[in-house]
Amino acid sequence: MGSLRGISIAIFVVQALLASVTLVSAQGSTNGSRWQTLSGKAPSVIAHGGFSGIFADSSFGAYSLALLTSPPDVILWCDVQLTRDGAGICFPDLKLDNNSDVAIVYKNRQKTYLVNGVSTKGWFSIDFTLRELGNVILSQGVYSRTNKFDGNNYPIMTVQDTYAQLNPPRFWLNIQHDAFYTQHNLSMRSFVLSITRNRNVTIDYISSPEVAFLQNIAPSFRRSATKLVFRFLGQNDVEPSTNQTYGSLLKNITFIKTFAFGIIVPKSYIWPVDKDLYLLPSTSLVLDAHKEGLEVFASDFYNDVPFSFNYSYDPVAEYLQFIDNGEFSVDGMISDFPITPSAAIDCFAHLGRNASKQVDLLVISSNGASGDYPGCTDVAYSTAIQDGVDVIDCPVQMTMDGTPICLSSINLIDSTTVAQSEFSNLTTTIPQIMPGSGIFTFNLSWSGIKNLTPIIASPQSQYKLFRNPRFKNAGKFLALSKFLTMASNASSLQGVLISIENAPFLLEQGFAITDAVLDALTKAGYGNKTDQKVMIQSSSSSVLMKFKSQTNYDLVYKVDEDIGGAQSSTIDDIKRFASAVVISKDSVFPETSAFITSATNVVPRLKAANLSVYVQTFSNEFTSQAWDFFSDPTVEINSFYLGGGINGVITDFPKTSNRYRRNRCLNRGNQIPGYMSPVQPGSLYQLITAPYLPPAEAPNPFLTEADVNEPPLPPVAAKAPSTSPNGTALAPTSPNGQPKVAASAIMQLLTVFLAISLLF
């Protein structure tokens, strides 16, 4: 069916994908240790409908990408449905309308049937012949995923076509609705037996959630290499042939052994989570099944669906929990994103905390481990150190009494509960610093600020992705002096990064921020330390010029906008006062609608001038990454390092970056596997057909000398009295001398904070 069209699509897609991923022969890893699987071999990667996290489930594109980004023994999964004339097709659901355009092609063919006793309405495969389905094309059925590839006209493929065109190393057929097809005079048993007798097709696994179906076909497979697997659905769902819940059947593993070689269970059967999405202790399911000689395959792995907060939005961490926990390992994992379990198994399992670094990639924190705890708190910094960060950062702000402190923003509303405190009347507007109103650090004393409650940042909250809610208010803020003491006592650190912004404004207000930083560094012993380096970062060249004239610290120029390039004269200017540059991710790989369109020459040109290049900000939430990185932060880091050539990452999840540079797949030369090859910029974008192309975006501007050159810092101005007779902070005053209170703004802020608090 549709063979000519399928072949033409195959050629186009494979050529494009081969350009994006290096396909090599990668040996499955034993990692020098016996796996705790039933066989003692590495767990299997099962590509659920292919790489269905990007392309339409069961499409040629999805299966091709899975083969290119997975180990050589990957298993391709096919959900089998039957057509009216008894043909078996690979399609993810009994109903066709959610993953294809059948509702458009056949508008009046909707039907209603009882499915396991439930009245279900839609377009069903049993109402169409194979020939009729030749007019139907596949589409992305998960609406939160990109639909930009729906114009590629991927046809519905038969089981035979799928095998013939893809030639998979191993092939898995999942039979989900045998009872339904039997009610409509179609025999899934006959189809399965015929396909397994076909010499041109090899079926390695057959699974079903129906006991009767597996019992019925089991005698025919007793001497076959094909393995039968019983699939557990939700614990309260009822298995149709026994009328028992799957939770009840789980208590009788010995019975399952009479007709199956293994079991599939949702991952929550093994590592349950509580109502707040935190891990509970693991069950004994895997160990119990292994004792009975049953393999265990875990399902429901997706990179783009919120999972337990224990994993810090890092899907590799989740996979490792199932295969490298020291007690057991599942025998296989069923995933919509097979690149991630492939890397977890071969590159990251059994590494150990002291695994040596394979690449020279500097890991710099962004407000400490601010992905797990409120930024710039003691717990965020100590966690970053524990997670293996090289450099911890302190964005310095000044308090009313002249104390330099570490805080992510000069506006206290961004990181504290100040809007709900006694200082809520201090709201003011300072256009030189930011648009809108705020409550600024220099309007409160350090004693007032350090008693404020921190708030964890959740930059992807618009997508309902919140960070570590149980610890959203954990930790205490630090003065710069305490931060430096903590860093000095951490022998694992290479150094500290001190970030200074708004210096000209602060100097005009009487706050000598540069002098305060220099004084704190000297008192902490960093004036003559040799074991830890000091990095001073600023987007102000005048700040860096001042430090250059007084110290030998490493100076880092931060480019605070997305750029498409830099003039040679501009780069020469930067070299006068800095040895490194911080740029945005978009300045390396520009994006349009979350697709990488190209690569700039910014990194190679800066490096050619002997400037180190650090890129910010790397986060684990899948919504922070381009589609090209497959909702996997490790793929993103790898692509920026191996593909983009950067020297370091600035990240709020340093544990992920630290683990990346220790993985065993990085130093294999020409044998680097596909799942550890960098993506090629624009490779996915090229697969978008014209009707689905997003609007073109204007290119990022070049960095010019005018952007970089600044006048010297002004002298520090005399500071006006900043406290009232009782020592409390004074509200900023307007020209008429009256306190300046933005009442309406305060009410809005309070409303927002109250609304956010109700989310947790």
Between the alpha carbon of residue 289 and those of residues 174, 265, 300, 673, the distances in Å are 21, 11, 19, 32
Query: Which ranges of 387-528 would DSSP assign to H, the alpha helix?
Result: 446-449, 480-488, 503-508, 513-523
* CB burial of residue 356 (10 Å; 0-12, 13-18, 19+): exposed
For residue 272, pLDDT over 80 is answered with yes
Confidence of residue 667 (pLDDT cuts 50, 70, 90): confident
Place of tokens 């309406």: 744
Is residue 24 within 8 A of residue 675, CB to CB? The reply is no
DSSP 8-state symbol, 479: B
Between the alpha carbon of residue 643 and those of residues 68, 69, 591, 639, the distances in Å are 17, 16, 16, 5
- Taking only the tens place, the pLDDT of each residue in 45-55 is 999 999 999 99
- Taking only the tens place, the pLDDT of each residue in 404-459 is 999 999 999 999 999 999 999 999 999 999 999 999 999 999 999 999 999 999 99
Is residue 361 within 8 A of residue 648, CB to CB? The reply is yes
Between the alpha carbon of residue 670 and those of residues 25, 39, 291, 604, 663, the distances in Å are 10, 30, 41, 22, 16
Q: Are strands 111-115 and 118-122 parallel, antiparallel or unpaired?
A: antiparallel
* Three-state DSSP class for residue 313: coil
Other C-beta atoms closer than 10 Å to the C-beta of 351 total: 16
Output the pLDDT for position 705: 95
Query: Which ranges of 27-125 would DSSP assign to H, the alpha helix?
Result: 60-68, 102-105
Q: Are strands 244-245 and 238-239 parallel, antiparallel or unpaired?
A: antiparallel
- Taking only the tens place, the pLDDT of each residue in 59-113 is 999 999 999 999 999 999 999 999 999 999 999 999 999 999 999 999 999 999 9
Query: Which ranges of 411-465 would DSSP assign to H, the alpha helix?
Result: 446-449
Mean pLDDT, the chain, integer:
91
For residue 758, pLDDT over 70 is answered with no
Dihedral of alpha carbons 100, 106, 108, 112, sign: negative
Amino acid at 612: S
For residue 191, pLDDT over 70 is answered with yes
Nearest to 138 by CA among 170, 177, 105: 105
% of the chain at pLDDT higher than 90: 87
- Taking only the tens place, the pLDDT of each residue in 524-536 is 999 877 789 999 9
Summarize the chain as % helix, strand, coil (round to 5).
Answer: 35, 20, 45
Q: DSSP of 531-564, one letter per residue?
A: SSEEEEEES-HHHHHHHHHH---EEEEE--S--S
- Taking only the tens place, the pLDDT of each residue in 327-377 is 999 999 999 999 999 999 999 999 987 899 999 999 999 999 999 999 999
What phi, psi does 439 have (nearest 5°)?
A: -120, 115
* CB burial of residue 168 (10 Å; 0-12, 13-18, 19+): buried
* Three-state DSSP class for residue 566: strand
Q: Are strands 533-538 and 554-558 parallel, antiparallel or unpaired?
A: parallel
Confidence of residue 33 (pLDDT cuts 50, 70, 90): low
Output the pLDDT for position 743: 35
Output the pLDDT for position 354: 83
Q: Are strands 595-596 and 591-592 parallel, antiparallel or unpaired?
A: antiparallel
- How many whole angstroms separate alpha carbon 44 and alpha carbon 710? 58
For residue 30, pLDDT over 70 is answered with no
Confidence of residue 116 (pLDDT cuts 50, 70, 90): confident
- How many whole angstroms separate alpha carbon 625 and alpha carbon 479? 33
Token representation of residue 193: 């037996």
Output the pLDDT for position 34: 80
Compute the average pLDDT of residues 318-335. Answer: 97
For residue 584, pLDDT over 50 is answered with yes
Is residue 483 within 8 A of residue 497, CB to CB? The reply is no
**Residue 488's Cα: distance from chain center in Å?**
32
Compute the average pLDDT of residues 291-312. Answer: 97
- How many whole angstroms separate alpha carbon 688 and alpha carbon 258? 49
Other C-beta atoms closer than 10 Å to the C-beta of 457 total: 20
- How many whole angstroms separate alpha carbon 69 and alpha carbon 342? 8
* Three-state DSSP class for residue 244: strand
Output the pLDDT for position 141: 96
